[in-house]
Amino acid sequence: MEVNKDEAERCIELAEEQIKIKNKEKAEKFLHKAERLYPTQRAKDLLVQIKLMAPAPEPDQQPRRRKQSPKREDHTTPQYTTEQLEDVKRIKSCKDYYEILGVTKDATDSEIKKAYKKLALQFHPDKNKCPGAAEAFKAIGNAVAVLTDPEKRKQYDMFGSEEERVSRSHHHHGYTYTRGFESDVNAEELFNMFFGSGFGNSNVFVRRNARVYRQNMGSSDSHHSHQREQQQQSGFAAFFQLLPILLAIVLSMASSLFISDPAYSLQATNKYTVARRTENLGVQYFVRENFHSEYQGSVQRLELSIEEDFITNLRHACYREKNYRDTMIWKARNFGDPDMFKSAQSIKTPSCEKLHKIRGMEATVKEKKKKKSKSIGEIQKSNDFHLESSTKIAQLDTSKWPLLLKHFDRLNVRTNHYTPLPFGASPLKRDIAEYLHAGCINLDKPSNPSSHEVVAWIKRILKVEKTGHSGTLDPKVTGCLIVCIDRATRLVKSQQGAGKEYVAVFKLHSECEGGIPRVIQGLEKLRGALFQRPPLISAVKRQLRVRTVYDSKLLDYDESRNMGVFWVSCEAGSYIRTMCVHLGLVVGVGGQMLELRRVRSGIQSEYDSMVTMHDILDAQWLYDNHKDETYLRRVIRPLESLLVGHKRIIMKDSSVNAVCYGAKILLPGILRYEDGIELHQEIVIVTTKGEAIALAVALMTTSTIASCDHGIVAKIKRVIMERDTYPRKWGLGPRASKKKSLIAEGLLDKYGKPNENTPTEWLTSYVDYSAQAAAATVPVIKKEEVTEETSKKRKISATLDSSANADIDTTMETSTHKEKKKKKKKVKTEPEEEVAAPAETAEQEVEQPKKEKKKKKKKDKVEEDEG
């Protein structure tokens, strides 16, 4: 950089001064520094000149040593080399922890630990007797203690060396190596944690109040020196001391082999060649070519982590750029160079500018999300939206409306005349208690626990009354398990009967002769209706049953191991384990299932907001401790998400509560209806706010609904909404209101029937339909009397017969008694038809006894002839 050119020339001048006084080491050091700042040919020539110089160090440049003491000659003799001294100086001159360990800021924990093991053996006070080795060893220990702790490392990366506390004196300067951080263990304890207590060390360096003290942890120095000499003499003891280190190195290298590569990279490499951009901030990242097939997680969650990493890297780069600019300004002020000061002030910080732009983009994205998260009521109240007549085309885009209101404008309009009621709420805007009460979870079931255990755990975690699942999975099987909560359990049966999709791993017992084509042919044979018997260990009775396999596909097959993976779409209740056994029989070598995962259950797949048990625990903990509902609303989805595949009928608000009480779906209460409704098809009844009212069975097709003015459109199959969520709107007419007032005044009884106080006006206009039904049943009573008379005649005739016919008569009596019971049951089931046409039924019932009399007389004659 041009900014460093002046500093590089200054270093070259200092190197020339050191060359003049024959100080080869310092001159070489200044020249290397000049090369790093700004490479020049002048510095390279001087380096070549230094290499040709004869090594003639001056006595003043030799490292200062203590004067030898006649009493302790063993400790005053020099026991270190110049390389060790330079290494100690290098460690003490480092500015941050990454430079001390010699790693990059993107280094992993394993790389940091490898660097620490190498430096700790080199600078341990027992191995390195150089002055300052203890301080360097302490710095290395503190560096690895901070960088291996995620929280401390994050804080250190955010604030860096701004919190360095440098203790300076008049002759030298040294670092405390705390930099605002304290490790939980000292350097010696950390060393023992990595290498064990095999190294006999009597000197422990403890830091208190930014000073370094030396504590004697054993007997005298002479005793430890004698012990050290004995250890050096023993080769086997040294081998056993180094054995834990070798094992640790081997284990760390082996563990690095099993670390999987990340799913993305912010820079293009040979592995990561496909460029992509995040949806929110447009951050560019690179993935592998097989990213879509290999990566099974949520892409949105991955892009959020990518944006966080990118912002973190920008923040660090911005801090370094600002720090470098401030340093250059400080140097310019110290040197008093105005040109250097101007150039330092003109240094740009592109990372900071990018970070500022991204923060602005984040703010705009949040504003857009807030605008998108408007409720349906707010959208309807806004000026951009209003319901227009069917003759005009609505300009509103409903493709992004939630759940059952999606593409609301594409529904067929029957009428637009209705009065909206301020009751109910959009499924996504319910309060948290109601949201939980009508929610479902698309759970990624873990292996080993059964489906019943998982559902019981969720019930205990969420503190709800009821939970249920939409299809049992074996304990070892993982994948999609729909868990319904409280009111959503009313949808369990409809989801249990839905289709399923699985991915299975199978193994053939021996090599298949036809290879992969033979396996594909076997899977094709196992399609359609199949006879299956449950396995020996199953939750149902082992009976032969018919199950349908809709489709299957071989995903992969390894001929060397006779193992393969296939995908199958089948009917609920199918046994994939049995299918794998059948596949082995079809191929001719036998087979078995090794692993199974459900990838779809009904409408929900593993790509539709699937969560784990850990997500449920974290969401409930966040709500209990911080009252934050966002995570809980993300984990639990409204029950309407299970019904988005059904055909829809939109009802008026005034008829919602009647449907909740079991009323049939009539045409006058319908606002809109969907295309493609067929007879006896299961449909969902929806409010104008997108709430599911009930599941129903269609009794009219779409074309019939469009061409009729009245009639029953559908009958209720399962009511979902709670009663009285919307107000009652039946019984509000003038006739019903007058009847209520008469009951309140006592002019009618509590059932609305007339009494002695009822006015004549009401009696003349009042029609009692129950009395008409009773009148219609009068001929039926006459019919019973006739049958009784015929039975009596039979008894009289039976007494006149001989005793040989006694058995026949008893059988006749029992038969007539059974016929009476059957006739009474028929009479009970026919009152509704009799009310509809009382006159016709009366004539028919009078004629029927006459015909029956003739038939019975013929039977009696036949029986008498046989007797």
* Distance separating alpha carbons of residues 368 and 366, to the nearest angstrom: 5
C-alpha torsion sign, points 300, 306, 310, 315? positive
> How many Cα atoms within 13 Å fall on the side-chain side of residue 19?
20
Dihedral of CA 451/453/457/459: which sign? positive
Q: Would you say 227 and 200 are in contact if contact means Cβ atoms under 8 Å apart?
A: yes
Alpha helices in 718-805 (DSSP H): 734-745, 760-765, 769-776, 778-800
Report residue 481 as tokens: 């398990």
Strands 665-666 and 670-673: unpaired
Residues near 585 by beta carbon (within 8 Å), at least 6 away in sequence: 591
The packing angle between helices 187-195 and 235-257, to 10°, is 80
To the query of whether residue 615 is one of the catalytic residues in this protein, the response is no
Q: Which residues contact 716 (CB under 8 A, 6 or more apart)?
A: 659, 662, 663, 664, 665, 694, 695, 696
Q: How far apart are CA 49 and CA 27, in angstroms?
A: 11
CB 98 within 8 A of CB 249: no
> What is the C-alpha separation between 194 and 137, in angstroms, rounded?
14
DSSP secondary structure of 75-110: HHS----HHHHHHHHHHHH--SHHHHHT--TT--HH
Using CA atoms, how far apart are residues 793 and 311, in angstroms rounded to an integer?
Answer: 104
Tell me which H or E stretch contains 557. Answer: strand 545-558
- Kindly report the backbone phi and psi dihedral angles of residue 651, in degrees, each rounded to the nearest multiple of 5, phi listed first: -105, 160
Q: Are 78 and 128 in contact (CB under 8 A)?
A: no
- The C-alpha atoms of residue 475 and residue 101 are separated, in whole angstroms, by 48
DSSP 414: S
Annotated catalytic residue within 6, 474, 486, 653? 474
Cite the beta strand spans of 243-378 per DSSP E: 274-277, 284-287
Return the structure tokens found at 121: 């053996």
For residues 399 and 502, give the distance between their C-alpha atoms in angstroms, rounded to a whole number: 31
The number of CA neighbours under 13 Å toward the Cβ of 656 is: 28
- The H or E element spanning position 565 is strand 563-570
Three-state secondary structure call for residue 345: helix
Backbone phi, then psi, for 562, in 5-degree steps? 60, 35
**For residue 532, which of 471, 480, 575, 477 has the smallest C-alpha distance?**
575
Enzyme catalytic residues = 474
